[in-house]
Structure 1
Amino acid sequence: MKAIILAGGLGTRLSEETGDKPKPMVLLDDKPIIWHLMEIYAKQGVTDFVIATGYLGGIIHQWVKSLKTTWNIKALDTGDDTLTGGRIRQCLEFIGPERSFATYGDGLGNINLKNLLDFHINQGRAATVTAVRPPARFGLLESSNGLVTSFTEKNQAHAGWINGGFFVLDPEVKNYIVEDMEPFESGALPRMVADANLSSYHHSD
């Protein structure tokens, strides 16, 4: 089973780091973020990757060529301006009639891939998205007459769930992607919701 890694965006939220490299190539402990991401998959038995490149994609292509590993990695040029929907569609067409994992090239997590896949298969829908609680932005401070009486992390138990970035996709997902210049998150995903064809795997570790 292959894992699609979306690595073609501009990385505007890390602009000071991504002026000369794609965001997944920003170093973390002397290795690119994307290497750490693939290591998460590889440690759980997934070593076949399709990397959707775009912005400064040549850097990723050269890095893949220089990488000494037993992993099977295909860097697929999906276009500089293509959005996430188009990148996923091109990867699904490249992979063919088989199920795949998919994730963003700049996000790490401790997801159990076997549990995610088993859940997806049992649900029997076109795609599964990992749902996580949003991180608390601020600590909760309480005070009385200028004295701090309590300082705790904000309780996120009632904050709802957000897209955690780890997916399982069946081949039919590409039928929900209308064009390359469309975000996966605001195009294909809502269409699958309308068809009752999208599952959510709640991850809270």
Structure 2
Amino acid sequence: MKVVILCGGQGTRLREETEHRPKPLVEVGGRPILWHIMKIFQAYDLNSFVLCLGYKGTMIKEYFLNYRAMMNDFTMRLGSRESISFPTSPDDEDDFEVTLADTGDDSMTGARIKRVERYIPDTDDLFLVTYGDGLADVDIAKLIAFHRSHGRLATVTTVQPVSRFGVLNLEGDAVQAFVEKPRLDGWSSAGFFVFDRRVLDWLSVRPDCILEREPLERLSAAGELMAYRHDGFFFAMDTYREFLVLNELWHSGKAPWRIW
């Protein structure tokens, strides 16, 4: 089963980090956030990925082309008998198969997915899609089982958003209660989609095809979109503040998404 990761956005709200590299390569704990996302799926034996590249996509290609050398110690012999060997390879467990596909600098999310259709085998009835900037402790096995149980075309993982600010319950001017960062009403998309392969027919290669607009709206109207409610950890790295939070969690040894 293929896992499609959307890696093409410009990350304009994280310019401190994305001015010179794509957001999926912004590091959390010394590794690109993209690596963390892939490790989440690999924990459930899903290790075949299709990366939808756009903004500075060549840097992501270079990262994987040089992956083994950059992640491990190695010994080089120079001269006429030039060779390279890896005496230790602590990252051999990263048994990834990665297809890196240029889907256009200005393409929207729906177009990016449609443009990698040829890399999703006809024999696969399902594929997964998520964003290249969101980390979660979603139980992927339960997510897939939920999707198969309802028989619809699409499933989106949803979370209850948490307020950035404390909420005060007032009676007149008196504070009756203070709740630090409460969960808000309603549910938000966290990515981590499961799609029947037929969802590809609902998408277009037009650059302006936005997955979250017409395709998902039409699927919803047709009764083909279901929500998997995730009440655990989810955090999207959209700003520099969120970048700092994720790094603090990792370095503290309390990263909830580290399920491998």
The TM-score range, normalised by the shorter chain, is: over 0.9
Partner Cα separation in structure 1 for residue 24 and residue 135 of structure 2? 11
Question: Which stretch shows the higher mean deviation, 134-143 or 168-177?
Answer: 134-143
Q: Read off the aligned partner of 2:148 and give its amino acid letter.
A: I
Structure 2 partner of 1:82: 107
SS at match of 2:111: helix
SS at match of 1:51: strand
Equivalent residues of 1:85, 1:187 under 8 A apart = no
Structure 1 partner of 2:192: 166
Q: Read off the aligned partner of 2:134 and give its amino acid letter.
A: G
Where do 5+ consecutive residues of structure 1 fail to align? none
Identity %: 39
- Equivalent positions of 1:1-205 (< 5 A) are 1-68=1-68, 69-97=94-122, 98=124, 99-141=126-168, 150-156=177-183, 159-178=185-204, 179-205=206-232
Higher-Rg member (1/2): 2
Equivalent residues of 1:96, 1:171 under 8 A apart = no
Where do 5+ consecutive residues of structure 2 fail to align? 69-93, 233-260
Note the C-alpha offset of 1:31. Answer: 0.5
TM-score, normalised via structure 1 length: 0.92
SS at match of 2:138: coil
Q: Read off the aligned partner of 1:23 and give its amino acid letter.
A: K
**Paired positions, count:** 204
Partner Cα separation in structure 1 for residue 228 and residue 4 of structure 2? 18
Partner Cα separation in structure 2 for residue 75 and residue 141 of structure 1? 48
Alpha carbon RMSD of aligned pairs, Å?
1.9
